[in-house]
Amino acid sequence: MMILSRERLALHDYVAKTRVFRMGRVSFFRRASVALLVLIGLFGSVSFLRQIRPSGVASTAQEPNEPSALGSVLKQISAVVTLYIYDPEGKPSSLGSGFLITDDGVGVTNFHVLKDAFSAEAKLGDGRIYHVLAVHAFQANHDIAIFQLGRRTSLGVEAATNLSHVELSSERVRVGDRVTTVGSPEGLSNTVSDGLVSAIRGDAGEQYFQITAPISHGSSGGPVFNLKGQVVAITSFQSREGQNLNFAIPVSEVAAISNQRENLPLEQLYKQTHVAGEPAARPETVGRAAPTPRGGLTGSFWGTAHNLTANVTAGFGIIVEERQGLLQGCLGVKAPLYGSGPLQGSVQGDDVQFDVNGASIYMHFEGRNSADGFRGIYSAYPPGGGRESGEFTLERQRSKQQARISDPQKDCPTDTDMNN
């Protein structure tokens, strides 16, 4: 469509408002004059448009100082992750999105993405795969979860290092701001969509950004970027009652809990949400398991471990300290079994679980607490690969002096220490 004047009339509008000449009855001179006037008008309008841009009409050319939104966002794609969720049987159950906020694998997603995860994997924007090891903090009512990435190997847990991460914006978001989302709608990783902040809405004391950037199943938990490539919000949900009604959580809600490091294993979060119901989301109890009865598990325990795969039994013990439902301590085991090293875990009611990262083996224990101790099953992942299963029994030691552990990584015994 071509503009001919300051009134911005289209060519067909201009002709419609101009008297129609009957060319057959007009002299050659008048016909030539009309044609010349039209050509002059067209030439003048084009020249005029080259010099100015009508007020209120956006230019398609980028201003020299205007940030390149697409370029800024594309640089962040490697920090956006696709989360694959698995049930207790190891079967895929759902998927979502997330993004990393530190170079050692701390990330953000929606709480509803991880609450059904007995285990989860994260595929980075560059294709690398990591495990979701734990949840550091969550707020169910704000639909936010902070998670930790790493890799479980036959030699133990490999920490994530030097990963790309995003920058969280501290600037105020306004209606009309341009935004871009990156996520995995329907599992299509690294999907980029743009739009506007169409409204800022509140519901029961909570704030949401209504955005026009399209989202769908699998986008939940992904980042919403501003023109500078900074994250301003987390995609959360959409309304199916209308068209293009999408909502995101302000990133300020993330900043409030991003520094917490509760290290709650994913399996324990699953038990909290499926056995005990969804946890309270008050800020003072964010990401914490409910305290166990009987005064806690702090103390020393000794018993036996029976490796069912190899049909081998050995004595072993643990020293643990419980704080608000979270466990840390040491495990020591006698020959012919091995795997002594630091442990961490959690307690929920009568359920106890902990992980042990020995010098060359990773083990996961689950049991039931009683007044005198606890018993249960474990899985071991030896350095040669594969998985071994076993069962264990531990009894509380009534010694008046309990060993204290200030640093499990340094203070815990090794297999050599246990057998000298």
Query: What is the residue whose two structure tokens read 């340094």?
Result: 410
Residue 265 lies in a domain: yes
Instruction: Give the pLDDT score at 257.
Output: 84
Are 85 and 200 members of one domain?
yes
Q: Of 102, 175, 107, 200, nearest to 147 (Cα)?
A: 107
Residue 285 lies in a domain: no
Beta bridge partners of 139: 144
Of 61, 90, 110, which residue sits at a domain end?
61
* 108 band by pLDDT with thresholds 50, 70 and 90: very high
Cα(326)–Cα(328) distance, integer angstroms: 7
Instruction: Give the pLDDT score at 242.
Output: 59
In this structure, what is the dihedral angle of CA atoms 221, 222, 224, 229, given to the nearest 10 degrees? 140
Amino acid at 354: F
Cα(211)–Cα(41) distance, integer angstroms: 43
Are 96 and 118 members of one domain?
yes
CATH number, domain containing residue 395: 2.40.128.30
* 46 band by pLDDT with thresholds 50, 70 and 90: very low
Of 276, 307, 329, which residue sits at a domain end?
276
Are 322 and 381 members of one domain?
yes
DSSP state letter for 271: H
pLDDT in tens, 151-169: 988 888 899 999 999 999 9
- Residue 349 DSSP SS3: coil
* 31 band by pLDDT with thresholds 50, 70 and 90: low
pLDDT in tens, 205-230: 678 899 998 888 888 999 999 999 99
pLDDT in tens, 249-292: 999 888 778 888 888 888 888 877 765 444 433 333 333 333 33
Residue 290 lies in a domain: no
- In the chain, what percentage of residues exceed pLDDT 70? 74
Are 42 and 70 members of one domain?
no
Residue 113 lies in a domain: yes
Cα(291)–Cα(374) distance, integer angstroms: 16
Are 247 and 367 members of one domain?
no
Amino acid at 257: I
DSSP state letter for 83: E
pLDDT in tens, 50-88: 443 443 334 434 444 444 567 788 888 999 999 999 988
Most confident of 183-187, 286-290, 375-379: 375-379
In this structure, what is the dihedral angle of CA atoms 386, 88, 84, 378, given to the nearest 10 degrees? -40
DSSP state letter for 259: T
Are 57 and 83 members of one domain?
no
Are 15 and 127 members of one domain?
no
Residue 20 lies in a domain: yes
DSSP state letter for 168: B
CB atoms within 10 A of CB 59: 8
In this structure, what is the dihedral angle of CA atoms 55, 57, 60, 66, given to the nearest 10 degrees? 60
Confirm if 135 and 180 have CB atoms less than 8 A apart. Answer: no
Residue 281 lies in a domain: no
Range of the domain at 6: 1-61
Confirm if 180 and 200 have CB atoms less than 8 A apart. Answer: no
Are 270 and 322 members of one domain?
no
Residue 10 in this model has a pLDDT that exceeds 60:
no
Are 269 and 153 members of one domain?
yes
Are 258 and 353 members of one domain?
no
Cα(81)–Cα(77) distance, integer angstroms: 8
Count the domains in the chain.
3
Q: How far apart are the first and last CA of the chain?
A: 89
Are 20 and 84 members of one domain?
no
Question: If residue 111 lies in a helix (H) or strand (E), which one and from where to where?
Answer: helix 111-114
Residue 366 lies in a domain: yes
Confirm if 229 and 72 have CB atoms less than 8 A apart. Answer: yes
CATH number, domain containing residue 108: 2.40.10.120
Worst-scoring range by mean pLDDT, 164-178, 237-251, 321-335? 237-251
Cα(382)–Cα(113) distance, integer angstroms: 31
Instruction: Using the CB atoms, write b or e for 147-183: b if 16+ within 10 Å.
Output: bbbbebeeebeeebeebbbbebbeeebeeebebbbbb
Tell me the two tokens of residue 1.
Answer: 């469509």
What is the full DSSP assignment across 396-411? E---SSPP--S-HHHH
In this structure, what is the dihedral angle of CA atoms 132, 133, 139, 140, given to the nearest 10 degrees? 60
Of 61, 76, 109, which residue sits at a domain end?
61
Residue 325 lies in a domain: yes
CB atoms within 10 A of CB 28: 7
Are 246 and 380 members of one domain?
no
Confirm if 215 and 185 have CB atoms less than 8 A apart. Answer: yes
Instruction: Give the pLDDT score at 177.
Output: 94
Instruction: Give the pLDDT score at 296.
Output: 65
